[in-house]
Structure 1
Amino acid sequence: MNIVAFVIGFTLFVGGIVLMGYAWDGTTFNWIMFSGGLGAISLGVAVPYHLLKRVDG
């Protein structure tokens, strides 16, 4: 379960950084992409902590 939580969190975190980077490209929906990236980064940090707290503790 630790590896699964790491992979999910890492994928969300890196995907959020990519979304936030593409938001500065000047597209029409740049605020949606930035907000989605921010949410993905937040989930990428929160999901492993909550999953690992339930499994390990």
Structure 2
Amino acid sequence: MGFIISFLLFVVGLFLFGVAFNAAAFQAVIFFAGIILVCLSFGIPAHILSKR
């Protein structure tokens, strides 16, 4: 289940990277949200799921 959530966060983060370039406003906020989601998608398996 954790892998699926991590993968979805990664895909949504990459989608936000693309949306940020076409957005009329808040480009930096959208891009930063994409960075945060991609970081979380790597952090969940590395830190949370490894403690099981």
TM-score (norm 1): 0.83
**What amino acid does structure 2 have at the position aligned with 1:13?**
F
- Matched with 2:47 is 50
Counterpart secondary structure, 1:24: helix
Q: Which runs of 5+ in 2 are unaligned?
A: none
* Percent identity between the two aligned chains: 33
Larger Rg: 1
Aligned to 1:7: 4
Equivalent position to 1:40, from 15, 19, 37: 37
Offset of residue 12 of structure 1? 0.4
RMSD: 0.9
Question: Does structure 2 retain, via aligned residues, the 8 Å contact 1:16–1:41?
Answer: yes
Task: Report how many aligned residue pairs link the two structures.
Answer: 52
Q: Does the CA contact (< 8 Å) of 1:9 and 1:45 recur in 2? A: yes
Runs of 4+ off more than 6 Å: none
TM-score (norm. length: structure 2):
0.91
